[in-house]
Structures are given as structure tokens and as C-alpha cells.
């Protein structure tokens, strides 16, 4: 059987400041291969903080050339996370209003992405969010932004939409580039349904790059999925049995995000690792045994622990990381752009 085309897909989970973990792993990947992620992958998907990373990796400096490296994004978490999570609305109002003001995160994202538009992404990028206006999941796709005026948003607005975690930030009220305010819609964090966007990434890659009958005969998918740490915090029954709406609000968000991530990982393992011919899954994840599982803990000690968690993931998965590097290097010069199926 002739060699099949390899579709290289990168998926990055949500998790707030814990995005430092996948950013660090990607920094080592870029150093190892001497190339940017936008050149190594055919499609990059992200949710919430993973969406910000995905957009950062595909932001153009000029047409076809990425502006930021993964190392730049590591610096972003170390230098800007304190600004994003630094202005609380007030402890006394925490149950009545979002924990953080919208101004700081909006300013940081505008500084990072300026007026760059989604249609100009240097690699196909997929970002998840939830549309409160239509009460439905929403997917930002860079290739749709290139052909559909109402699907092209500024990257800074997409980043706000995918990371507007309920109880932490207000919803993002945004509109497509150049369209009237009547086209505005409210979005919240895509983590409410796809904190691990791996399944979304797989479906998008199949739809984007394969034609009828190609999937098992002519195409193979390589999915690299990066987590932001598994939560280990215990909620004792003697406490939870007394909880009402106010007590459940914040823990429930963590449970939903973490549960969704693990569930998708289990599904992808069956689909890719246990299905002959479809492709392969490389999942890089670890329990948060030392670093905090809080999405907003920007203490320098915790940031270092998150960095150390990433190094531990790489150390414990040396064989898988080496295999990823070898496969990406082998297929680095292979372009699948001419094989895109129009949708």
C-alpha cells in the first residue's frame, strides 16, 4: 500500500494560567525541531487559554510567517497573567458579579494581537466558544473567516470569546470585522463543552483535509493533544452535601472542565489508538501534584511549579515525545494544502 498523507493536528486544552504547561512543552518541541508550530502542524485547535496559545502560534508577522514562538507564549504567561488576573471586582461581590474585571484581559489581548484578523492566520486554526445569543456551541475557523464576512473576527476578540470563563470574566460581546453592532453576539468559554478540543480538532481535520473514501485508504491523522494538568482536589461528602447554588458555582465549573477533558481523551484513545488505520493520538498530561489547580493562581512560585510540571511530563513521556519529533520532522516538508476539500 502506498504511503498515506499524514494530517498533523495540534490540540490544546483550556485551564487559565495553567496554559503555561502546554506552552512550555511546545517551546521544547520548537527548540528540538528548529521550526515553528505553524510549520509543523496542518491545523491547530484550542479552547480558552489553549485558544489564546493557538491564536498566538498562528498570528502573522507578515503573510505566511508567524509572529510569535512558543517561547514567547511562555513569557506571556510569566509576565502578563498577573495583569489578567490582577483586578478583582471585590470579594464581597464575588457571588453576584464575575471575579475579575474585563478591562485588564481585554487590554492584554489587544496588546498581544492588535488588529490582526482571524482570516490572516498563517496556519488553519480552530477555536471553540459558546454562543449565549443562540444558546449553541460555536467554532471559529480561520478558513471560514477568509470566505465568509460574518465569520471574520479580530484575533483579540476571538481570544476574549474563548476564554470568557463563567464566574471569572464577563461574556465577550463581539462582532465580525467591519459589520454593524447588530451582528454582535455574546460568547463564553468554549470549555463549557470542549475544554479538551481534541475531538473538535479531529472532526475539523477530517472535514477540512479529506474527501469521500480517503480517510482509511489515503489519509492518516496524527493528533498531538496537550493538557493543562488533571485536577486532584477532593470534595468531601460532609461538605458537598450541604452545598447550594452559591457553594457549587465555582467548583462545578472546575468539575465540568476537567470532566470534559478526561471524557474526550477517553473517546480519542478508542478512536485513534484502538482503530486500525485511522491515525494516532499523543496525549501529554499529568496530575497536578505540586502546582495549584486554580486557573488564576499567578503566584511566581506556582508559575514555576507549572513549568516544572511541563518538564515532568516531557521526562515521563520521552519515548512519545521523541516519536512525535521524528514524525513531524519526517513530514515537515510535506504540504497538504493542495488536498484541502472545499466546504
pLDDT tens-digit readout, 276-322: 667 899 999 999 999 999 999 999 999 999 999 999 999 999 999 99
CA–CA gap between residue 182 and residue 15 (Å, rounded): 32
- Predicted confidence at residue 87, as pLDDT, reads 65
Per-residue pLDDT at 334:
55
pLDDT confidence band for 261 (50 / 70 / 90) = confident
Query: Distances from the Cα of 284 to the Cαs of 125, 162, 331, in angstroms?
Result: 20, 22, 21
- Pick the closest to residue 133 from 161, 159, 167, 91 (CA basis): 161
Q: How confident is the model at residue 343 (pLDDT cuts 50, 70, 90)?
A: very low
Whether the CA torsion 29, 197, 219, 42 is positive or negative: it is negative
User: Which residue shows C-alpha cell 521526562?
Assistant: 315
Q: What percent of the chain has pLDDT over 70?
A: 89
Looking at residue 94, its pLDDT comes to 59
- CA-based nearest residue to 25, from 281, 313, 320, 332: 313
In this structure, are residues 164 and 189 in contact, taking their beta carbons and an 8 Å threshold? yes
What is the predicted pLDDT for the residue at 337?
46
Amino acid at each position: 500500500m502506498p504511503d498515506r498523507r499524514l494530517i498533523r493536528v495540534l490540540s490544546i486544552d483550556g485551564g487559565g494560567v495553567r496554559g503555561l504547561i502546554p506552552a512550555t512543552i511546545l517551546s521544547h518541541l520548537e527548540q528540538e525541531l528548529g521550526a515553528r508550530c505553524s510549520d509543523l502542524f496542518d491545523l491547530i485547535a484550542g479552547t480558552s487559554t489553549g485558544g489564546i496559545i493557538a491564536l498566538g502560534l498562528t498570528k502573522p508577522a507578515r503573510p505566511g510567517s508567524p509572529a510569535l514562538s512558543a517561547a514567547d507564549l511562555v513569557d506571556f504567561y510569566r509576565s502578563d497573567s498577573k495583569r489578567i488576573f490582577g483586578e478583582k471586582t471585590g470579594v464581597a461581590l464575588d457571588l453576584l458579579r464575575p471575579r475579575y474585571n474585563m478591562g485588564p484581559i481585554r487590554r492584554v489581548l489587544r496588546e498581544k494581537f492588535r488588529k490582526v484578523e482571524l482570516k490572516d492566520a498563517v496556519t488553519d486554526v480552530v477555536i471553540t466558544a459558546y454562543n449565549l445569543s443562540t444558546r449553541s456551541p460555536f467554532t471559529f475557523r480561520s478558513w471560514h473567516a477568509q470566505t465568509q464576512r460574518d465569520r471574520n473576527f479580530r484575533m483579540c476578540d476571538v481570544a476574549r470569546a474563548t476564554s470568557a470563563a463563567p464566574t471569572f470574566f464577563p461574556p465577550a460581546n463581539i462582532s465580525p470585522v467591519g459589520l454593524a453592532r447588530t451582528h454582535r453576539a455574546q460568547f463564553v468559554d468554549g470549555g463549557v463543552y470542549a475544554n479538551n478540543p481534541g475531538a473538535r480538532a479531529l472532526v475539523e481535520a477530517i472535514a477540512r483535509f479529506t474527501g469521500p473514501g480517503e480517510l482509511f485508504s489515503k489519509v492518516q491523522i496524527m493528533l498531538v493533544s496537550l493538557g493543562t494538568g488533571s485536577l486532584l482536589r477532593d470534595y468531601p461528602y460532609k461538605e458537598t452535601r450541604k452545598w447550594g447554588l452559591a457553594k457549587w458555582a465555582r467548583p462545578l465549573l472546575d468539575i465540568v472542565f476537567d470532566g470534559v477533558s478526561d471524557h474526550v481523551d477517553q473517546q480519542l484513545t478508542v478512536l485513534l489508538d484502538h482503530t486500525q488505520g485511522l491515525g494516532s493520538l499523543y496525549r501529554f498530561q499529568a496530575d497536578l501534584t505540586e502546582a495549584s489547580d486554580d486557573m488564576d493562581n499567578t503566584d511566581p512560585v506556582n508559575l514555576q511549579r507549572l513549568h516544572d510540571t511541563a518538564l515532568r511530563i516531557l521526562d515521563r513521556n520521552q519515548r512519545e515525545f521523541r516519536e512525535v519529533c521524528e514524525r513531524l520532522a519526517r513530514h515537515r516538508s510535506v504540504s497538504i494544502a493542495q488536498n484541502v476539500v472545499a466546504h
